[in-house]
Amino acid sequence: MAAPTRIPLKALKPHPKNQVLFPPKSVEFIRSLADDINRHGLQEPISVRVVDRGEYLILSGENRFKAVTLLGWDDIDAHIVDPDDELAYLISRNIGRRQTGYSGRVNIYTAYCPDFFQGKKVQNDRLVEVSKKTMIPLATLKSDLKKIRLGAGVKDITMDQLKELWSKKKLKGLRLNLSDMGNGNFLLQVTGKNTEYQWGPGTFREVVRQSAEAAQSKYFDKNFRPENMALAEKIKELRKAAGLTQFQLAQKLGYSQSYFAELEGGKWECSGTLFDDIFRICEERM
């Protein structure tokens, strides 16, 4: 890699996807990082992409950027990069630097792997590709995908019981269709207005069980919006860290508890202004 370039801090902009993919670090963390950099220097340059003449987007190192800003630096060492898959690069450069739990990885999947939340089978080649690009271990991807696709475990279940489970999702025009593929294998489809999920081929017991588990998973809810879930999970984490109930935080914001519950569930998109208010209120209580 070429030697780093010294870039003015005022020319740098945080990547808009970074706060969606990864929860922002606390003020205390940034202060601690600033103290470490002040004592030992900047150990690794940040990575940036040229946006326009004299303007750069941070792909890796936003916390280091915040820390040196706090120290009053005028510029910072940076590697200028131009990755083919910018989102994958951003994920891979961050995933090894922090402890990312299951809910955090779900944030990543909603942005980078929306096919994980669809009814179609995800081929192993696709998982290998995602693993290579994001640096998330293949075994972790497979385990996470299973959790996403399946809900709580169920035992043997009849088609009538399965239809009852799916009816709770309130899908318009709900239909269940079981096709015999021969050799003891079946294909199970659950369809509705703008909805189509499919399991199999597999044994009758397997496809019905898998469909029933999906029916009990929130990721197959009618109102589930993958694009909203990253911020929704972050809001829930902030609220819990602040020791607030949904009702208490909703009152402080001037919203009803029912609306806030739907916001936290990912039904509604959270505006930047509302998220800033939530972050401020929760930060004050931490």
* Percent of the chain's residues with pLDDT above 70: 91
* 133 inside domain: yes
**Same domain membership, residue 68 and residue 15:** yes
pLDDT at 31 over 90: yes
Does residue 90 have a pLDDT over 80? yes
pLDDT for position 98: 67
Same domain, 140 and 177: no
Shared domain for 136 and 60, answered yes or no, is no
Q: How many domains does the chain have?
A: 4
Residue bearing the bigger pLDDT, 95 or 124: 124
- Final residue of a structural domain among 43, 66, 92: 92
Q: Residue 119 has what pLDDT?
A: 58
**Helix (H) or strand (E) segment spanning residue 60:** strand 55-60
Q: Which residue has the tokens 């069980």?
A: 209
Residue 275 scores a pLDDT above 80: yes
| Same domain (yes/no): 165, 108 | no
Burial state string for 257-284 with b = 16 or more CB within 10 A and e = fewer than 16: eeebeebbbbbbebeeebbeebbebbee
Structure tokens at 23: 């929860």
Question: Is residue 221, in this structure, part of any structural domain at all?
Answer: no
Please tell me whether residues 135 and 120 are part of one structural domain: yes
* Distance between CA atoms of residues 236 and 213, nearest Å: 24
Range of the domain at 266: 226-284
Tell me: do 21 and 76 sit in the same domain. yes
Domain end call among 182, 197, 216: 216
CATH number (domain holding residue 80): 3.90.1530.30
- 10, 87: one domain: yes
- What CATH number does residue 241 fall under? 1.10.260.40
| Band of pLDDT at residue 153, cut at 50, 70 and 90 | very low
CATH number, domain of 173, equals: 3.30.160
- Give residue 243's region: left, alpha or beta (phi > 0; psi -120 to 50): left
Q: Assign 64 a pLDDT band (cuts: 50, 70, 90).
A: very high
Other Cβ atoms closer than 10 A to 19: 17
CA distances from 179 to 156, 173, 204 (A): 19, 19, 10
Q: Does the structure show a pLDDT above 70 at 249?
A: yes
One domain for residues 70 and 16: yes
Is there a single domain that holds both residue 26 and residue 86?
Answer: yes
Give yes or no: residues 72 and 16 share one domain.
Answer: yes
10 and 85 in a common domain: yes
